[in-house]
Chain A
Amino acid sequence: VTGVYPVVPPASRAFLAEFRSYLDGLDAEAVEAARTEYDRDELEPGPAGLELWRRMGRDGWVAVDWPVSYGGRGRDAIDGWLFQEEMVRRRLFAGGLTLSSIGPTLLELGTEDQRRRLVPGMRTADVRFAVAYTEPEAGSDLASLSLRAQPDGADFLLSGTKLYTTCANIATHLWVAARTARGATKYEGITVFVVPADSPGIAVRPLITQARGRTNEVVFGDVRVPRTAVVGEVDEGWAVIRRALTHERVFPFAGVSSQLDSLLAWLSRSEPPASARRRGAASELVRFVVDMEAARLLAYRAARSASGQGSADESRSAAAASMNKVWLTELRHRVAAGGLSLLGERGVLGLDQTGAPLDGRFERMYRAATMRRFAGGANEVQREVVARTALGGSR
């Protein structure tokens, strides 16, 4: 195939083939154990998931788009995206925000000391971050955050509450956005800190989700952190957050497409339930496939944009990540809900239940699917980002 788009460069295709070959060569039992954990909760790795991360890090097969000098492979953003897609396709934890967001941000904006202390351990799962942005009164309106960081001698004292800090219970460090000053606008006076998760004064309380997963409330009671914990400049953390969010905004489609593949295969193999034999069931599947194909191309557009190889149409590429996020997360919910309906009565059976179609994974997917629409920047906010490219307006 020739042409400008949407053709992945041969070097990236070769990279993907090599990566697949590496993954195929891993111990099958260990991989399956990690996959079982992933099916229960794709956001929080268990022991097997952490061990896989460690093993891949030792083998040089995580953080592929980081510079070679920091243990990466020096690959471009397209390959970084393909790495994530392949891991998600195989239902394996890919290092979460530690590798996708915090690592690259520290490499860009961290001090040499921070990079030296934190980055190498990220590749081997010895340094694991949980991101503490959201607060009870600051959700999509993130810049309204109010967790205080009060100067105290050479240190800061952090006090306040963060919500939905997923992985705080297994993290070694917290990435905390705090208010250090009242600026002329809410975007000023924010500072980002790296805080060891075992610091005195930190209390982590589980919040169990409708997906049977766990996120956390984290209460900071005068937690003392040194000035060297500041990322970037004091009071100028909004720029750091924006950079971290930009890195975070790669939304792999393969989690949805692999579920769709499973559904198609299951329906073609099994004696389908009445719900899947009804008139219109095949049409519904075609609609999923068509919208999945659109999601796939949006993801690639976003990856190209992130790699600086944007499309010839700059205005569309600028908003590609937001379009991708909205389209994919809403499709995920439709596939989960519609797919579960196609599975019929037994679709109610959850993970590990005898007779559950597709091992109950669609039941789990349905429970979890709504979260993607509001997490990582609510879809309404993402639509606003898209609208801004054509209609103007302030953030």
Chain B
Amino acid sequence: VSRTVLPDLDPVATEFASAVAGLLAERVDHAVLTGLDERPGPFPPGLWKDVKALGCTEVVTEPQGVALAVAVLAEFGYAGLPSPLAGSLLAALGTRVAGAAGQVPAALVTNGDPIAALIPTRLDACTVALDGPSRRTVTGGPCLGEWVADASRLLVVCLDDDGRPAVVLVDPAAPGTTVEPARTIDHCASYLVSFAAAPVTDVLAEELTDEAWHALSAVSGLLGAATLAGLCARACDLTVRHVRDRVQFGKRLAQLQAVRLTVADMLTDLTCLVDLVTQAATHSDAGTPRAEHHARIAAIFAAQASGRILGSASQLHGGTGFIVEHPLHFFYRHAKGVELRLGGTEELIETAATRLLPAMASSQWDWLDFG
């Protein structure tokens, strides 16, 4: 049984994560990551087939869907492997938490093909309009998206005629959609996507309430935090191994006090991050009133702690971790990429200030309430 990044999740999720960890350990090596770094996308088709066969794309229909999703994404993070799975899970779970029925729309899970989620930090980046009696189209962009060339559908969050958020699906191959590859900070296949009256294939949610929109954006942050937890766990493992092996001044680095104290801080950050993600996923699946807050807190902590952990990992590796023959650079760059795709630390904090602080100040917030 492989060790998993989030061992205290629901046992169903932990067991599944263990299987995913096994698959990724077997299939993802330095060459795979380097291949993506040199030519991001398409995702290796054979690997996607195996990921699908394991059931990764179906986890969203389970009652523990969020726990399963964060468990899986954390393992992808640990492997250093960006994938279309992140967008697909976000599309499904985001729509689930935002939808009144709490169901994942069938359009997102019928065949398990990748979905790219375009959820711009500025909601007015794209608009959806009625363009004929029953035809809707999307216009706007460019929006940053990942694995768009692999995607069978694009999930777009945009504003409707009344300025209310809506969630729609667009066929990336349909006329009106322009997709341009973009070189980015990491090895995650990225694109700039523009729409000029691109036809909508499905409307997943209309006239989202503020609460629904916030629930969706909070889940987005949580899934990003899960990936960051995996990236950080691997960075800690790489660092522990390095400082135990590397000899300087006649001693192993692990014997030097400054190094030991830095590693202690990395491990403490990682422990907090793992617990926060676990807590947020548990509350999200249970639909508790605090679910959104826990998800936002996990995302903010992940954004901050990943910067600290990866920064320390790079420092303790020195030149060894700076050259591309060592895997650390994948984790260092991808962690920043994940944080930025969530809008960046400051954006996450600003949003939380408008959501979290009023809730805490206006109600009897009980810190001893552990669910």
Contact = CB atoms under 8 A, between A and B. Distances in A.
B360 A297 contact: no
B131 to A, nearest CB: 41
A283 B276 contact: no
A2 B12 CA distance: 12
A392 interface: yes
Interface of A: 1-8, 13, 16, 82, 85-86, 89, 253-254, 257-258, 261, 264-265, 267-268, 282-283, 285-287, 289-294, 296-298, 300-301, 311-313, 316, 319-320, 323, 326-327, 380, 382-387, 389-393
A286 B357 CA distance: 7
A327 B301 CA distance: 13
Q: Is the interface of B mostly helix, strand, loop or mixed?
A: helix
Contact of B300 (A6, A290, A297, A320): A290
Interface stretch (B78-86, B204-212, B278-286): B278-286
Interface in B1-60: 7-11, 14
Contacts of B261: 380, 383-384, 387
A3 B263 contact: no
A257 B360 CA distance: 11
Interface stretch (B179-187, B306-314, B346-354): B346-354
Contacts of A268: 357-358, 361-362
A163 to B, nearest CB: 25
A371 B173 CA distance: 64
Interface string B258-275: 001101110110111011
Interface in B193-213: none
Contacts of A391: 240, 243-244, 254, 260, 263
A1 B304 CA distance: 27
B80 to A, nearest CB: 20
Contacts of A4: 8-11, 14
A301 B361 CA distance: 27
Given A85-B368, A254-B368, A264 B263 contact: no
26 contacts: A4-B8, A5-B279, A13-B370, A254-B367, A261-B360, A264-B357, A267-B361, A268-B361, A283-B350, A283-B353, A289-B352, A290-B352, A294-B272, A297-B275, A311-B7, A313-B8, A326-B264, A382-B264, A383-B260, A386-B264, A387-B260, A387-B261, A390-B263, A390-B267, A391-B244, A392-B244
B7 A312 contact: yes
Contacts of A1: 282-283, 286, 288, 371
A298 B357 contact: no
A94 B64 CA distance: 40
Contacts of A392: 244, 254
A89 B282 CA distance: 26
B249 interface: no
Contact of B255 (A13, A267, A393): A393
Interface centre among A86, A296, A384, A391 (most CB of B within 10 A): A391
Given A290-B297, A298-B271, A89 B370 contact: no
B340 interface: no
Interface in B288-324: 288, 294, 297, 300-301, 304
Given A316-B271, A384-B260, A265 B361 contact: yes
B271 A323 contact: yes
Contacts of B129: none
User: Which of A264, A268, A387 gathers the greatest number of chain B CB atoms within 10 Å?
Assistant: A387
A326 B236 CA distance: 19
A390 B240 contact: yes
Contacts of B275: 5-6, 294, 297-298, 301
Contacts of B353: 282-283, 285-286
B361 A5 contact: no
A297 B283 CA distance: 14
Contacts of A386: 263-264, 267-268
Interface residues of B, number: 55
B267 A261 contact: no
A221 to B, nearest CB: 38
A312 B240 contact: no
A389 B358 CA distance: 40
B109 interface: no
A289 B356 contact: yes
Interface of B: 7-11, 14, 67, 236, 240, 243-244, 254-255, 257, 260-261, 263-265, 267-268, 270-272, 274-276, 278-279, 282-283, 285-286, 288, 294, 297, 300-301, 304, 346, 349-350, 352-353, 356-358, 360-362, 365, 367-368, 370-371
Nearest to B352: A286
A391 to B, nearest CB: 4
A280 B179 CA distance: 37
A6 to B, nearest CB: 5
Given A3-B10, A297-B276, 19 more contacts: A3-B278, A4-B8, A5-B9, A6-B275, A261-B360, A287-B300, A293-B301, A296-B367, A298-B271, A312-B7, A316-B274, A323-B267, A383-B260, A383-B261, A384-B261, A387-B267, A390-B236, A391-B243, A392-B254
A7 B282 contact: yes
A290 B257 CA distance: 29
A7 B268 contact: no
Contact of A6 (B7, B243, B265, B279): B279
B133 to A, nearest CB: 46
Nearest to A85: B368
A236 to B, nearest CB: 29
A265 B363 CA distance: 10
B300 A7 contact: no
B260 A393 contact: yes
Contacts of B282: 1-3, 5-7
Contact of A316 (B10, B267, B304, B360): B267
A283 B348 CA distance: 10
B81 to A, nearest CB: 22
The winner among B243, B282, B288 for most chain A CB atoms within 10 A is B282
A338 B72 CA distance: 38
Nearest to A1: B371
Given A1-B286, A264-B357, A323-B268, A293 B276 contact: yes
A380 B264 CA distance: 10
A282 to B, nearest CB: 4
B85 to A, nearest CB: 22
Closest 7 CB pairs of A and B: A5-B8, A1-B371, A312-B7, A383-B264, A294-B272, A387-B260, A386-B264
A235 to B, nearest CB: 30
Q: Which of B243, B263, B368 has the most CB of A within 10 A?
A: B368
A319 B267 contact: yes
Contacts of A384: 257, 260-261, 264
Nearest to B243: A391
Contacts of B255: 393
